[in-house]
């Protein structure tokens, strides 16, 4: 069963298969800028494997030890060890859809 975690306009979906990441880092990784205030969603973890999409945004994560997602306007979220797909949510207004990060 897939588990989802949401912080503001960012959604994390657990993946069944482990990720073989193309890039690795430790300490912290900026996932996205907030849509209105510009505050960043930042992941803090001992080890982070990640891939980016064609726009160079983080699209998938591997957290072998888990991690904590922080943002100035939201409560922190603890992500358990595992792999995740990262999606940007869209703001919905009746009759139209607008990308959240525009």
| 18 vs 29 pLDDT, higher one | 29
Domain count, the chain: 1
Q: How far is CA 84 from CA 23, 36, 63, 96, in A?
A: 15, 25, 8, 28
* 95: CB partners within 8 A, 6+ apart: none
Q: Which domain holds residue 13?
A: 4-99
Integer CA distances (angstroms), 12 to 31, 65, 79, 96, in order:
11, 16, 9, 24
Is this prediction's pTM over 0.85?
Answer: no
Can you tell me whether residue 9 is helix, strand or coil?
Answer: coil
pLDDT one-digit tens code per residue, 75-89: 999 999 999 999 887
Is the per-residue pLDDT at 98 higher than 80? no
DSSP assignment, residue 100? T
């Amino acid at each position: 069963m897939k588990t989802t975690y949401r912080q503001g306009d960012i959604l994390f979906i657990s993946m069944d298969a482990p990720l073989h990441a193309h890039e690795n880092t430790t300490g912290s990784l900026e996932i996205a800028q907030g849509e209105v205030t510009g505050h960043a969603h930042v992941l803090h973890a001992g080890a982070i494997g990640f891939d980016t999409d064609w726009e160079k945004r983080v699209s998938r994560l591997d957290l072998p030890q888990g991690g904590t997602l922080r943002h100035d306007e939201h409560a922190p979220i603890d992500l358990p060890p595992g792999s995740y797909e990262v999606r940007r949510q869209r703001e919905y207004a009746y009759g139209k859809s607008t990308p959240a990060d525009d």
